[in-house]
Amino acid sequence: MIRKHVYFKGRVQGVFFRANTMDKAREEGVMGWVKNLRDGRVEAVFQGTEEKVDEVIRWCRDDQPHARVTGMEVTEEEYTGEFDDFEIIR
């Protein structure tokens, strides 16, 4: 199991990025959270199997229906297992 902390940059706010990310993460069985930042980026933490976490991140980058990701910062962190769902933080 792994944990990745990601900052997405681009057209990622006001385009259902958080809701779509939550739906995809839940579909893949990935736990964590996603939230908008004041500077226009979206921040997220993903926990699960490496394959599933990487698939959700790839999907967020390449396949979000209305968003356009122009940059990402990804940091691998120590897996904590603290989440039992994926949620939007407001």
CB 62 within 8 A of CB 20: no
Catalytic, 36? Answer: yes
Residues 6+ apart with CB under 8 A from 44: 5, 6, 8, 21, 32, 33, 34, 35, 60
Catalytic residue among 11, 26, 36, 41: 36
Query: Which residue among 18, 20, 41, 61 is the active-site one?
Result: 18
Q: Which residues are catalytic?
A: 18, 36
